[in-house]
Chain A
Amino acid sequence: MNIDGRVEISEVQFYFFTAGEAEGDNLIPYALVSLYGCPDKDMLEESCNTLWACRYRGPDALRVVSISSILTVVSMQPLPQLPGDPEDLWFVVEKSGLDDVELTGYIDLMEI
């Protein structure tokens, strides 16, 4: 992770290239993403930084990011609520490095 960077969770809307006018110009790949809100601070602290729960903001937080800033695919799950919790939070689940795709060579056949 780049030291200057901060990590965000986002939902990809679509991917696209921008090209110069002329044929043969380098295509620059981008993604239009919707950034999830910042994580609920209390939950994050209480859970020893294991529960990152945030709000889905849809069209209100669209950004263009360069493709190379995309690190991994994560799972966003609806958060079971306790009384007094904010509504509609989603929490992040990451894949373990133990069954890392790069190591095992597993590629989902559906995705090829």
Chain B
Amino acid sequence: MYFTQDNHQRSENDSIHPHDQTTEMHRSRNITVSLIHSAKKTHFNRPQPPNDTDLEPYRDSPDETDSHPDDNPAFEEEDPDANQEQIDTARAEELRAQAVVLASFHALAPEPEAGVPANTADDTPTTHSRIEHVKFAQQFIEEISNATLDNGKLDTDVIESLRDPDTSAVDLSDPDIRLSLDLFMACNNASEETYKAVRASIESRFPEAKVLSYYSVKKLVANISGVVSILDDMCIKSCHAFTGPFADLQSCRTCSAPRYDPIQIALTQKKNPQKQACTIPLGPQIQALRRSQHGASAMRYRDKKIQEIFDSLDDPNAVYDDIFCGNDYLDLHERLNLTSDDTTVSFSIDGAQLYQNKKSDTWIAIWIIMDLHPNSRYKKKHVLPALIVPGPDKPDNLDSFMFRSFHHLRALQRENNGLGLCVWDALKATVISSRIIFILGTADAVALTELDGRVGHHGTHGCRLGCDMKGRHKPGTGHYYAVHLKPNNYTVEACNHPDYDFCNPPLRSSVENYHIDLAKVIASRNQAEYERNRKLTGISKPSILNGLDPDFTLPVPLCFSVDLMHLLSLNLGELLIPLWRGLLPCDSTDNRGSWDWVKLVDNVWTEHGKLVAAATQYFPSSFHRPPRNPAEKISSGYKATEYYLYLFGLGPAYFRTILPKKYWWNFCKLIHGVHILVQRSITCQQIREAHSYLVQFVEEFEHIYYQRRPDRIHFCRPVIHTLLHTAPEISRIGPGSYASQFTMERSIGDLGKDIHQPSNPFGNLCQLALRRSQINALKAVCPELDKDAAPHIPKFSHEAGSGYIFLRPRDRNAILLNGPEEEAVLLDCGRSQVLRWGRLRLPNGQVARSKYSESKRTAPNKRISRNVKVVMFLINYLVSYQYLDEYRWSS
């Protein structure tokens, strides 16, 4: 088991829990250790579990009983004027909650005999919630906990090759086969007809060539790659898949649409599913990754990185530049003694827009192989498709669709008594056991609540990260806001707690607290109680990830983090701009006239909008989408990148001339923090710095805008509070850019585009996704078939070493420089005649142009891309600015 907080009752006899020693080791690089380990505040002294017969079934794990924590902050919430009867009810409830906690701990306990399903469903009478959708989630989780390869809808030959991987090298020596494979891959984005036509042309010119038929080559690719798909019937309106508790239903339990085509049944008695979702199981895809030496070597990045991290533990300048630098991974690493054989994965799900005029019409989930170098990890070639839910309707019960993917993962985790999946490692030339470790689950805002089982942020403990910060609400409403400072003249009971202590960085919910809260939600006896508990805990149902092997998983809720892209761009943008425009609701007791920060109005707003739009020409093309005119477009789908460049790019300069000084200063503190958060590489010192600026921003924000006024409580949106978590999260799971949904969305979008063919309706997506995975796996197995393996070098370019490439335009002949240009070049290079090149591709993929090339461009929409950040060395550069030393650029 795995807890972030020390459980004092438990730690003594818990020898397998290495957290203490581990954190000692990381102390030098960790700024939040002390926070994580600070003693928990006891708000409510819970009674010890009594000798109640109700608890008997759970008694078989005594140390689990001991581990029951003593406190539960949420219990403070009990109605203060409760009469005796209510107290009794509360007590009874509590006991039931405890029972369920014990049950869930029991379910978490490592199974004694792996390989044999624990059959918790039979052995342990798990308390199912009376709330239907919670019960369903529990049932999915139970079924996942009992997963084996044999009960996962896989064909016997697939299971066989998962257990006994092919160890022979793939033979591509037959030129006909090689030609067929090359041709098939070249036609990846074309139709079957194209393949056939090319094949016919080749055979008519070279009659001796025997190009495989389309059918045969497809089969061959499937065979070599080993990648298969599992289809699950689903409701034609996407309500749910017929899996888990719904597996035997004949019609949708939500909308009653029949599972099978009624006409087909009437005509032929055949059961033809109306619609199917497609899962591409992870196992074979993982096996393919190490089957070539090239692939096996790429899979060793994580291990090398970890060595680097351990070597730099005492280095004060050590940086966080990947997820593995975070303490949660390092703890996991030490606890499991992870090796280069093991495989670490993250899961991401997102709606993808494949067709015009639909918001999200297809839901795609992917596996990210964390063992690869970050620069290839997120690219579409290395991202493994996990699940395709064809649209156009939005899936209602996402658990039922994700079920198959996690069921399979759990089965892989169970293989060989938990030693791992058998994988042929070409570098070691042996079959290794690879434990499949689950690290992070990410999703877009809509799907995240499905994945993490949390609700919106209107509850008492509304923090998405489940910290113990307690919200407050206005008198007479139940809608809580993340208000840190206690309002003046405020008498709302249970919200009257003193100011939040900004000195102590927030503590995110520990695994044990999560389970206690969850148990309370599960134990709710009726809808009203459920709703109350949901509000209290912020949990609406258990996350489906609870079904994975807790030993091989960064457990719920630690496997969820903050999505910076959403938080910084959308949430902040949708608060600050309306705030400055004076669009936030104004209570009757408040007076808009006193809002002296409202400056984005009338002409100022219109002119400001035009200025933002005019900035486009100065944004290099590698900056993607520059902000459109906010005065016109801010409410028509303003994108996250637009918000980012608008607020955090143009903001410091643009709002300087508009906002009164104190508001601008406050805003600059936010910017300073954010500029650090979005870096790909962050030092410990910078994490502290970012945190300090963000805390100042948040505290000051409340002082200058909300001003402790009860009628302005609604200014304090959850995003303001979440900012306090962002810096500590870096030390936990590394910089946000490695877990940002931005990265994931792009991967998913690319995948979506790739499998989207205009001629094919939704139904074909599954086949296309499968073919894509097979081709990717084939490239992994036989890297020689991968035509894009080498970095793309454009025509007529000239490599300049270290990843820099000169690009055209270029002078035809060397020219003689004159004036200051000649002087400079003569001074440094001793010549005055050069052949000028126009553009330079940087190692980071950006293209820097130059005055020379941009003067030649006549396109009307040209965007200036010739300004660069350079690092100069003092030796040949003498001007010095003292204050520059204090300036830290993100490089």
* Assembly CA distance A70 to B800 (angstroms): 12
Mark contacts of B791-809 with chain A using CB atoms, 8 A cut-off: 1 yes-contact digit, 0 otherwise: 0101000101110101100
* Cβ-based interface call for B535 (8 A): no
Q: Is the CB of B649 within 8 A of A75?
A: yes
* Cα–Cα distance between A112 and B680 once the two chains are bound (Å): 25
Q: Is the CB of A17 within 8 A of B835?
A: yes
Chain B residues with CB under 8 Å of A22's CB are: none
Assess the A9–B867 pair: CB atoms within 8 A.
yes
Cα distance A108–B839 when bound, in Å? Answer: 13
Contacts A2-B871, A13-B821 given: A7-B891 contact, CB under 8 Å? yes
CA A53 – CA B654 in complex, angstroms? 12
The interface residues of chain A lying within 8 Å CB-to-CB of B872 are: 5-8, 63, 65, 69
> Is A25 located at the chain interface by the 8 A CB criterion?
no
Contacting pair B742 A99 (CB below 8 A): yes
Contact, CB under 8 Å: B870 / A7: yes
Please pick, from B619, B737, B800, B877, the residue contacting A29 in the complex, using a CB distance under 8 A: B800
A-contact 0/1 string along B853-880, CB 8 Å cutoff: 1000000000011111111111101011
- Tell me the chain A residues, 86-112 only, with Cβ under 8 Å from chain B: 91-108, 110-112
Asked if A38 and B848 sit within 8 Å, CB to CB, the answer is no
B476 at the binding interface (Cβ < 8 Å): no
Contact of A7 among B671, B801, B844, B869 (CB under 8 A): B869
> Is B431 an interface residue, CB under 8 A from the partner?
no
Q: Smallest Cβ distance from A50 to chain B, in angstroms?
A: 4
Q: List which A48-100 residues lie within 8 A (CB) of chain B.
A: 48-53, 59-60, 62-65, 67-82, 91-100
B26 an interface residue at 8 Å Cβ cutoff?
no
**Do the beta carbons of B374 and A103 come within 8 Å of each other?**
yes
A97 with B840: in contact, given A65-B870, A106-B845 (CB under 8 Å)?
Answer: no
Q: Does A46 contact B (CB under 8 A)?
A: yes
Q: With A38-B879, A72-B868 in contact, is A15–B825 under 8 Å at CB?
A: no
Q: Are B653 and A51 in contact (CB under 8 A)?
A: yes
Does chain A have a CB within 8 A of B705? no
Asked if A4 is an interface residue, CB under 8 A from chain B, the answer is yes
Contact of A100 among B653, B672, B680, B851 (CB under 8 A): B680
| Distance in angstroms between the alpha carbons of A53 and B886 in the assembled complex | 16
When distances are taken between beta carbons in the complex, the residues of chain B under 8 Å from A93 are 619, 623, 645, 649-650
B836: chain A residues within 8 A (beta carbon): 14-16
Beta-carbon contact of B825 and A104 below 8 Å: no
Taken together as a complex, chains A and B put the C-alpha atoms of A83 and B889 apart, in Å, by: 29
Chain B minimum-CB-distance residue to A30: B829
**Is B656's CB within 8 Å of the partner chain A?**
yes
Cβ contacts B536-549/A at 8 Å (1 or 0 each): 00000000000000
A61 to B875, CA, bound (A): 17
Q: Are A102 and B867 in contact (CB under 8 A)?
A: no
Q: Are B622's CB and A73's CB within 8 A?
A: yes
B804 near A1 (CB under 8 angstroms)?
no
Q: Which residues of A contact B834 (CB under 8 A)?
A: 14, 16-18
Residues of A within 8 A of B650 (CB): 77, 93
**A11 to B868 Cα, complex, angstroms:** 6
Cα A82 to Cα B658 in complex, Å, equals: 9
Docked pose: A104 CA to B375 CA in angstroms: 8
- The answer on a CB contact under 8 Å between B869 and A47 is no
Per the 8 Å Cβ criterion, residues 715-750 of B in contact with A are 735-738, 740, 742-743, 746-747, 750
Check B669 for interface membership: any CB of A closer than 8 A: yes
Whether, in the assembled complex, B403 has its beta carbon less than 8 Å from a beta carbon of chain A, the answer is: no
Q: What total of chain A residues lie within 8 Å of the partner, measured CB to CB?
A: 79
Residues of chain B lying within 8 A (CB to CB) of residue A104: 378-379, 742-743, 746-747
Contact call A76/B378, Cβ cutoff below 8 A = no
The residue in chain A whose Cβ has the minimal distance to the Cβ of B611 is: A80
Q: Say yes or no for B125: interface residue by CB 8 A criterion.
A: no
Known contacts A13-B821, A97-B679; A29 and B868 CB within 8 A of each other: no
Set of chain A residues within 8 Å of B568, measured between Cβ atoms: 98
Query: Are A62 and B868 interface neighbours, CB within 8 A?
Result: no
Q: List CB contacts (< 8 Å) of B617-636 with chain A.
A: 618-624
A107 to B864, CA, bound (A): 16
Q: In the complex the two chains form, what is the Cα distance from A64 to B379 in whole Å?
A: 36
Q: How far is the CB of B672 from chain A (nearest CB, A)?
A: 4
Contact between A12 and B829, CB atoms less than 8 A apart: no
* Complex contact A81–B657 (CB within 8 A): yes
C-alpha gap A49/B375 in the complex (Å)? 30
User: How many Å lie between the Cα of A97 and that of B686 in the bound state?
Assistant: 15
Residue of A nearest to B379 (CB): A105
Which residues of chain B come closer than 8 Å to A30, judged between CB atoms? 828-829
Contact with A along B387-424 (1 / 0, CB 8 A): 00000000000000000000000000000000000000
A98 to B819, CA, bound (A): 42
Known: A11-B851, A15-B806, A31-B840. A51 touches B828 (CB 8 A): no
Tell me the bound Cα distance from A4 to B327 in angstroms: 31
Q: Out of A5, A27, A76, A107, which one reaches B867, CB within 8 Å?
A: A76
A75 to B867, CA, bound (A): 6
B255 CB–A CB distance under 8 Å:
no
Whether the Cβ atoms of B828 and A64 lie closer than 8 Å is: yes
Closest to B740 in A: A98
Given contact pairs A2-B873, A98-B644, A73 touches B802 in the complex (Cβ within 8 A): no
B621 touches A111 (CB 8 A): yes
Q: What is the CB-to-nearest-CB distance from A41 to chain B, in angstroms, rounded to a whole number?
A: 6
A67–chain B nearest beta-carbon distance, Å? 5
Q: Does B652 contact A (CB under 8 A)?
A: yes
Q: Please provide the chain B residues from 567 to 604 with a CB less than 8 Å away from any CB of chain A in the complex.
A: 568
Q: Give the complex CA separation of A45 and B620 in angstroms.
A: 27
Is the CB–CB distance between B623 and A75 below 8 Å? Answer: yes
- Decide if B338 is an interface residue (CB 8 Å cutoff): no
State the CA gap A50–B866 with chains docked (Å): 22
- Contact of A71 with B870 at beta-carbon distance under 8 Å, contacts A96-B648, A105-B380 already known: yes
Asked if B871 and A80 sit within 8 Å, CB to CB, the answer is no
B345 at the interface (CB under 8 A from A): no
- Determine whether the beta carbon of A9 is less than 8 Å from that of B850: no
Residue of B whose beta carbon sits closest to that of A65: B870
Indicate whether B641 reaches chain A with its CB closer than 8 angstroms: yes
Closest residue of A by beta carbon distance from B885: A6
B315 CB, min distance to chain A CBs, angstroms: 13
User: Which residues of chain A are near B840, meaning CB under 8 Å?
Assistant: 12, 15, 31, 67, 70
Residue of A nearest to B382 (CB): A105
* A69 touching B846 in the complex, CB below 8 Å, given contacts A79-B653, A97-B890: no
**Is residue B506 contacting chain A, with contact meaning CB distance below 8 A?**
no
Expressed in whole angstroms, the Cα–Cα distance for A99 and B804 within the complex equals 21
A33 to B742, CA, bound (A): 33
Hey, which chain B residues are within 8 Å of A27, CB to CB? Answer: 798, 800
B872 to chain A, nearest CB (A): 5
Q: How far is the CA of A47 from the CA of B375 in the complex (A)?
A: 33
Please give the distance in Å from B691's CB to the nearest CB on chain A: 14
Measured CB to CB, the residues of B under 8 A from A are 374-375, 377-380, 564-565, 568, 611, 615, 618-624, 641, 644-645, 648-650, 652-654, 656-657, 664-665, 668-669, 671-672, 675, 678-680, 693, 735-738, 740, 742-743, 746-747, 750, 792, 794, 798, 800-802, 804, 806-807, 819-821, 823-825, 827-829, 831, 834-842, 844-853, 864-875, 877, 879-881, 883-884, 886-891
Besides the contacts A1-B891, A13-B851, A64-B825, what 13 more A-B pairs have beta carbons closer than 8 Å? Answer: A7-B872, A9-B868, A12-B851, A12-B866, A51-B668, A73-B622, A77-B650, A81-B657, A95-B623, A96-B644, A98-B740, A99-B641, A106-B746
Provide a sorted-by-A list of 30 A–B residue pairs whose CB atoms are within 8 angstroms. Answer: A4-B873, A4-B875, A5-B873, A7-B889, A11-B867, A16-B825, A18-B831, A29-B800, A31-B840, A33-B868, A46-B665, A46-B668, A47-B656, A47-B664, A50-B672, A60-B820, A62-B823, A63-B828, A67-B801, A70-B870, A71-B870, A71-B871, A73-B865, A97-B890, A101-B845, A105-B746, A105-B845, A107-B847, A111-B807, A111-B847
Interface residues, chain A, with chain B CB atoms under 8 Å away: 1-2, 4-18, 27, 29-33, 38, 41, 43-53, 59-60, 62-65, 67-82, 91-108, 110-112
| A-B interface, 6 closest residue pairs, ranked by CB to CB distance from nearest | A101-B845, A64-B828, A5-B871, A29-B800, A14-B852, A62-B824
